[in-house]
């Protein structure tokens, strides 16, 4: 099987190109010589089945960041038939050095100059034919966003693949990676001959927008207002969709499944309906909101606004031992903590990387979001809901900033912060759809593993021994709840909520499914029952604890892998648990003292 590596600098549209070529067939796998997983996909090119591997974005093959080490180790340990190098056309004068470094490795390559539309708008012209001759490789201008020029680029790649040449020996590549010769001089020569860059770029739209969004007084307030409006939109549009899906699940149970399991033994119907079905259906009802969240966030990420947020926050972050990149990783953590933790590889300073990794698990990830939307819908009005959700996001930021302040002395950093602000962009509908599908697929995979296993275990714990009422004190779950009562009673968390929290250690998505199993209800019926069991103070305390306490097992495993330290992993677990209890205790006891 042929092997093609996709390589480029950060923010060149590499992930967009990978998604466009691979569609929804991407998978994660590990490779010889490296300790992290890489995204790959099987594609058909030139009559061959090829493995397309998306390598981390790097600035330099000879740098010292972990991403640069990953790329070097991959090339030194895996035979590669072709490298597709992706550059930003409008920044070719700063990015061509990476192409020259690859060329010296004698690996067959195709140079794809992305964002050709933006280069044209800024008056940049590139003599691709003569540049291709000088580099001895095909050079094509494309737009990964719109697909322009992509067929020609793939055709050029197919022609190289069809030559059936033996890939360069990785051992020879490993030797050549040790040295770099006259790259800067050669790059300057190529730029002078084949690239025309106007003295003043013609498109000043970005500058006009930045005068407002990067204003020293109004920039940050505008950012937080924008975030609040996004949450308002997500909740307002997503809630009716969630209710419709929950209604469909109720109809399916009452009209089909109840009859199907009517003649089954009581324990079988209880397990399948009150356990697996109730748990899965309750969690699955939140898919529309989660998809909507990622669709909105993909537009924000691809627009270039997050880079502005990093710039705005850098001065504040510096006082806490972090920088603007750390803020971007925190925002990524609102989607999922795992890729955010892996994204810290761009930081060359290990102390800053560890400090950033310590705060990321406190981000309000999408799995926690499901729990909060459920509790908020059950206990709060439609007018209160966006305010409560926004307050939880603010609390998430507060706990992250507090953690950074307290631990910055232990993880001191001296690395300067460099950030390039990309022009504003808007993703295409295809990009948005692909991103949404990837998140749904991710949810379904997790649902088939963690959630179903979790709700089955919860059902077993709440239904055995069988001679006592389900979910009562006499069950195994009830006894576990009593064991934790001295710790959780002071923060208003009862036995049922305690069981859900315990299983939330595995995956936060299990929390809602666990509640559905514990109460034997789903949808609106479960929400109504919850509203009679706890008041808003208990609900808020429960959400605060869920927000802060130990993240899911996937995040914990990533913490250990990325930090390469079991001690750091246990520090993160102990700190998040302690902070969660203290914050919930202060809120709960304070609210009760005020008479709520």
Query: Tokens in use for 316?
Result: 């504040």
Across 135-144, 225-234, 319-328, 451-460, which has the greatest mean pLDDT? 135-144
Distances (CA, A) of 282 to 373, 407, 489, 513: 12, 39, 26, 6
Kindly state the percentage of the chain with pLDDT values over 90.
21
Question: Rounded to an integer, what distance in angstroms lies between the CA atom of residue 87 and that of residue 111?
Answer: 8
Report pLDDT for 30: 42
Answer yes or no: is pLDDT of 136 > 80.
yes
Q: Do 363 and 370 meet the contact criterion of CB atoms below 8 Å apart?
A: no
Express each pLDDT in 82-93 by its tens digit. Answer: 999 999 998 888
Answer yes or no: is pLDDT of 431 > 70.
no
Model confidence at 40, in pLDDT bands (50, 70, 90)?
confident
Q: Over the range 504-543, which residues count as b (16 or more CB within 10 Å of their CB) and which as e?
A: bbbbbbbbbbbbbbbbbbbbeebbebbbeebebbbbbbbb
Report pLDDT for 199: 59
DSSP code for 360: G
Express each pLDDT in 285-302 by its tens digit. Answer: 767 776 777 677 777 766
Report pLDDT for 231: 67
Q: Do 335 and 370 meet the contact criterion of CB atoms below 8 Å apart?
A: no
H-run or E-run covering 296? helix 287-303
By CB atoms closer than 10 A (0-12, 13-18, 19+), residue 554 is middle
- pTM score of the predicted model: 0.63
Model confidence at 32, in pLDDT bands (50, 70, 90)?
very low
Report pLDDT for 158: 87
Report pLDDT for 29: 46
Pairing of strands 82-88, 195-196: unpaired
**Residue 111: closest CA among 102, 120, 124:** 102
Across 105-114, 442-451, 546-555, which has the greatest mean pLDDT? 105-114
Question: Rounded to an integer, what distance in angstroms lies between the CA atom of residue 113 and that of residue 280?
Answer: 45
Express each pLDDT in 150-201 by its tens digit. Answer: 889 889 888 888 887 777 777 777 777 765 556 777 888 888 888 887 655 5
**Residue 313: closest CA among 327, 299, 300:** 327
- For the chain, which domains are there? 2-196 (3.40.50.300), 221-593 (no CATH)
Kindly state the percentage of the chain with pLDDT values over 70.
86
Question: Rounded to an integer, what distance in angstroms lies between the CA atom of residue 70 and that of residue 434?
Answer: 26
Who's near 553: CB < 8 A, 6+ residues apart?
505, 506, 507
Q: Over the range 358-386, which residues count as b (16 or more CB within 10 Å of their CB) and which as e?
A: bbbbbbbbbbbbbbbbbbbbbbbeeeebb
**Phi, psi of 428, deg, nearest 5:** -75, 160
**Phi, psi of 39, deg, nearest 5:** -80, 135
Q: Where are the beta strands (DSSP E) in 303-429?
A: none
Question: Rounded to an integer, what distance in angstroms lies between the CA atom of residue 508 and that of residue 552?
Answer: 6
Report pLDDT for 36: 52
Question: Rounded to an integer, what distance in angstroms lies between the CA atom of residue 305 and that of residue 381?
Answer: 32
Q: Do 45 and 94 meet the contact criterion of CB atoms below 8 Å apart?
A: no
């Amino acid at each position: 099987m042929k092997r093609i590596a996709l390589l480029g600098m950060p923010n060149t549209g590499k992930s967009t190109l990978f998604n466009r070529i691979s569609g929804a067939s991407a998978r994660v796998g590990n490779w010889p010589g490296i300790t992290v997983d890489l995204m790959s996909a099987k594609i058909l090119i030139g009559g061959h089945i090829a493995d397309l591997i998306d390598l981390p974005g790097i600035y330099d093959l000879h740098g010292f960041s972990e991403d640069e080490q990953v790329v070097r180790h991959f090339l030194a340990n895996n035979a590669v038939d072709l490298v597709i190098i992706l550059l930003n056309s409008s920044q070719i004068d700063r990015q061509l050095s990476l192409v020259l470094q690859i060329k010296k490795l004698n690996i067959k390559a195709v140079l794809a100059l992305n964002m050709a539309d933006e280069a044209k708008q800024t008056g940049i012209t590139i003599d691709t034919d003569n540049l291709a001759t000088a580099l001895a490789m095909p050079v094509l201008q494309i737009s990964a966003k719109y697909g322009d020029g992509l067929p020609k680029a793939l055709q050029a790649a197919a022609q190289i693949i069809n030559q059936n040449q033996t890939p360069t020996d990785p051992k020879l590549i490993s030797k050549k990676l040790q040295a770099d010769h006259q790259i800067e001089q050669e790059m300057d020569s190529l730029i002078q001959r084949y690239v025309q860059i106007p003295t003043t770029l013609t498109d000043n739209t970005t500058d006009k927008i930045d005068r407002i969004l990067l204003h020293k007084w109004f920039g940050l307030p505008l950012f937080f207002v924008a975030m609040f409006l996004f949450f308002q939109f997500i909740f307002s549009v997503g809630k009716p969709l969630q209710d419709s899906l929950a209604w469909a699940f109720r109809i399916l149970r009452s009209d089909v499944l109840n009859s199907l399991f009517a003649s089954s033994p009581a324990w079988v119907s209880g397990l399948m309906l009150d356990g697996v079905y109730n748990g899965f259906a309750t969690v699955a009802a939140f898919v529309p909101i989660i998809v909507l969240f990622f669709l909105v966030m993909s537009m924000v990420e691809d627009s270039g606004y997050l880079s502005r947020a990093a710039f705005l926050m850098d001065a504040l972050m510096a006082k806490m031992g972090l920088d603007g990149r750390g803020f971007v990783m925190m925002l990524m953590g609102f989607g999922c903590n795992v890729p955010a933790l892996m994204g810290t590889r761009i930081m060359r300073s290990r102390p800053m990387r560890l400090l950033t990794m310590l705060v990321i698990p406190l981000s309000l990830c999408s799995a926690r979001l499901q729990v909060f939307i459920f509790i908020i819908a059950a206990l709060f009005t439609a007018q209160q809901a966006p305010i409560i959700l926004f307050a939880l996001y603010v609390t998430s930021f507060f706990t992250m900033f507090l953690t950074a302040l307290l631990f910055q002395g232990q993880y001191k950093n001296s690395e300067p912060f460099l950030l390039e602000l990309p022009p504003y962009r808007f993703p295409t509908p295809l990009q948005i759809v692909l991103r949404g599908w990837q998140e749904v697929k991710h949810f379904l995979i997790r649902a088939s593993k963690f959630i179903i296993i979790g709700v089955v275990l919860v059902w077993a714990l709440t239904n055995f021994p069988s001679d006592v009422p389900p979910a009562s004190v006499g069950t195994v779950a009830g006894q576990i709840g009593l064991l934790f009562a001295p710790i959780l009673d002071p923060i208003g968390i009862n036995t049922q909520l305690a069981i859900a929290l315990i299983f939330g250690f595995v995956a936060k998505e299990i929390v809602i499914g666990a509640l559905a199993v514990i109460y034997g209800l789903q949808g609106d019926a479960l929400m109504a029952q919850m509203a009679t069991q706890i008041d808003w103070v208990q609900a808020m305390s429960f959400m605060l604890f869920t927000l802060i306490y130990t993240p899911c097992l996937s995040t914990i495993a990533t913490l250990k892998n990325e930090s390469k330290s079991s001690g750091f992993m246990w520090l993160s677990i102990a700190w998040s648990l302690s902070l969660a209890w203290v914050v919930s205790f202060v809120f709960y006891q304070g609210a009760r003292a005020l008479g709520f």
